[in-house]
Structure 1
Amino acid sequence: MEKHMIYDLSYANKGVKIKDLPNKEYMILRLGINDHQDTEFDNYLQQIGSAEVPFGLYWFTYASSIETAEAECKVIRNIFNKNKDKYVFFKNLFQLPLFIDYEVEGKYNAHIQPKAFGQTAPVFKNMLSDIAQVGLYLNTGLLNQYLPSPDVSVEAKNMCTKNLWWADWTNRTSCPTGNYYVRQTGAGMYNGFKIDENIKGKDFKTYHNDAPVWETLNKINIDDKYRIIVQKRKD
């Protein structure tokens, strides 16, 4: 029996056809990074609708303070609002969380320091929980750093134990938090495309019945303050 698979996609997989991916059960699409929507998001969302595959989202963060996390949340909400008609159409398929992705990007790593993580992770949950279930994407190294750290808030540590997208490409059999929601296990080649592969954990569940009501999503404007705070990193 073939193992059902959860694939995650971003601009880096441009050209892939979701309908051609084997044994797909769910997809996780990159909503965006730091201050802008992923360039392939619209394309993938259209393919999701055509293939009728349930999906979740992830956001690559650079936030290293409460203020910059709030700014990124404003951007996320603005993207949701801009696409709300699409989400209304696909809302029965949006069944997985919105994961906030903490990982190194080039030389920039201020956002993954324990104190920064402890401050910013709860901001995403508090500001976005009305439009999505919020989870975290963390690798084993960061989990081992955050969980015992006195610089990480209790709220942020608690977030590590629910809706955790655990990244570990080794043969390790146990997660630092015990259970996990989804595990990224590695990558495979599909029709010439290298695509990350994920499997469900013991904590996996869908949130179909908790789908937000996109029709009532209020428009969030990004004022000049946030335009200054949120900027692309060119490291």
Structure 2
Amino acid sequence: MKYQYSDSVQITPHFNSCEFRCKCGKEHEFSVSDELVQKLEQLYATLNCSKIIVTSGFRCSAHDKAVKGSGTGQHTLGNAADICCYGQDGQPISSKVVCCKAQDIGFNGIANITAAYQYTHVDVRPNGKWYGDEVHGNSTVTDDFYKYFGGEDMKGIDVSVHNGNIDWGKVKADGIDFAILRAGYGRLASQKDEKFEQNYAGAKAAGIPVGAYWYSYAMTPEEAELEADVFLSVIKGKQFEMPVYFDLEEKKQFDLGKEQVSAIMRAFLKKVENAGYFVGLYGSASSLTTHTADDIKSWYTIWLAHWVDQTNYNGAYGIWQHSEKGKVDGINGNVDMDICYKDFQTIIKGKGLNGWGKAEPTSTPAPDVPDTDVTVTIQIGKDSYKGTLKKE
């Protein structure tokens, strides 16, 4: 969309066209991509910002070159913005966090642009991706900011009745940081996983953070909602430090096609989300690519299943199930192995999701009222008045 320099058009609730004017000092027209502003609005909501300041929006070719750009980059097309995001406390949000969330939303160009990690470049380039950290030059530095900025990854497992009786103390001692437990499958309460309660109690007692998943056979959105109802009844009253997931992987489901499969996913995910849970989607690299709509992958956290040494899946994901043949002390036979790249525990507890709830503010107790009459003195101007208040 093109704007005149003098325009002041409120494009979205938090962004006005004037914020994207070229800062070259000349009053010329400029372009702003509608997609860019819509994604910035989504970033605003995702980060719960108090404000986002656009430090550089559109640039004419001369200005782009003046600030050491190529003169033909995404800023000159109206596809880019350099921003500083502020939290509700009025402080800048680290660009490490902004980069990760921008990746989830689907910006194709993202970069930290200062050594203080306060300013972030985002763009909606139509082709390719660029994930950069300009502290270390202008080249792409990663295909996943969660891995790049995330520090040490968490090692986990996912289990079900098929793993038998588990010694969770030994599992903990073997270095497992989290576990995703199958809660059940299908649309009936009787299809609750036979080891779910035992696994939940055992993992909790061992101090292992847990999540849960529900295996689906739904062929319609209506059936998916029924599955969500049963899942919610099974996990009710429990607390999960990790996300809860929808697991759809039956061939007959994929035979329905991407549109119907995505509708089934949305029905389950939305119902669980509305019930107060941090919910995500489990899927293979193939199914996520061919049978999952982009809006689902950008809104919900992804648990990727890809049993290889190094995945080539280029979408965002928070957990990677990288093997089904792991060996962990305390579990007989093979077990699925996972790596977590996000601090889900802080996010979930901070938002009061997954059964945690937000702590109620502590009230200050009212002062004790004496049982006897009270003598008081009141000062009005220069005069004092003394009297007795009698308790009724």
- Give the TM-score normalised by structure 2: 0.46
User: Relative to total residues, which structure has the larger helix share, 1 or 2?
Assistant: 1
Q: Which residue of 2 aligns with 1:210?
A: 351
Q: Which residue of 2 aligns with 1:131?
A: 276
Q: Which residue of 1 aligns with 2:290?
A: 145
Give me the identity figure in percent. Answer: 22
Q: Which residue of 1 aligns with 2:295?
A: 155
Q: Which residue of 2 aligns with 1:47?
A: 202
Q: Which residue of 1 aligns with 2:156?
A: 6
- Report the residue type matching 1:145 in the other structure: T
- Alpha carbons of 1:173 and 1:156: their partners in 2 closer, same or farther (altered >3 Å)? closer
CA contact (8 A) 2:157 2:337 kept: yes
Deviates more, 1:53-62 or 1:138-147: 138-147
Q: After superposition, where does 1:142-221 map in structure 2 within 5 Å? A: 142-146=287-291, 152=293, 155-159=295-299, 162-177=300-315, 179-186=316-323, 187-191=325-329, 192-201=332-341, 203-206=342-345, 207-212=348-353, 214=355
CA contact (8 A) 2:181 2:212 kept: yes
**Other structure's SS at 1:44 match:** helix
- Alpha carbons of 1:38 and 1:196: their partners in 2 closer, same or farther (altered >3 Å)? same
Aligned-CA RMSD value: 2.5
- Give the structure with higher Rg (CA): 2
- Give the TM-score normalised by structure 1: 0.74
Q: Which residue of 2 aligns with 1:119?
A: 263
CA contact (8 A) 1:34 1:60 kept: yes
- Alpha carbons of 1:215 and 1:200: their partners in 2 closer, same or farther (altered >3 Å)? closer
Residue 15 of structure 1: how far off its partner (Å): 1.4
Q: Which residue of 2 aligns with 1:62?
A: 217
Deviation by residue 1:77-107 (Cα, 9 ceiling, x = unmatched): 22234xx2xx2xxx3xx11111101213xxx
- Report the residue type matching 1:7 in the other structure: I
Q: Which ranges of structure 1 fall in alignment gaps of 5 or more residues?
A: 217-235
Residue 74 of structure 1: how far off its partner (Å): 1.6
Residues in 2 aligned to 1:4 and 1:95: alpha-carbon distance in whole angstroms: 13
Residues in 1 aligned to 2:354 and 2:288: alpha-carbon distance in whole angstroms: 33
Deviation by residue 1:84-138 (Cα, 9 ceiling, x = unmatched): 2xx2xxx3xx11111101213xxx5225642332111111222111231110001
**Other structure's SS at 1:27 match:** strand
- Alpha carbons of 1:143 and 1:204: their partners in 2 closer, same or farther (altered >3 Å)? farther
CA contact (8 A) 2:200 2:210 kept: no
Q: Which residue of 1 aligns with 2:183?
A: 31
Residues in 1 aligned to 2:355 and 2:279: alpha-carbon distance in whole angstroms: 16
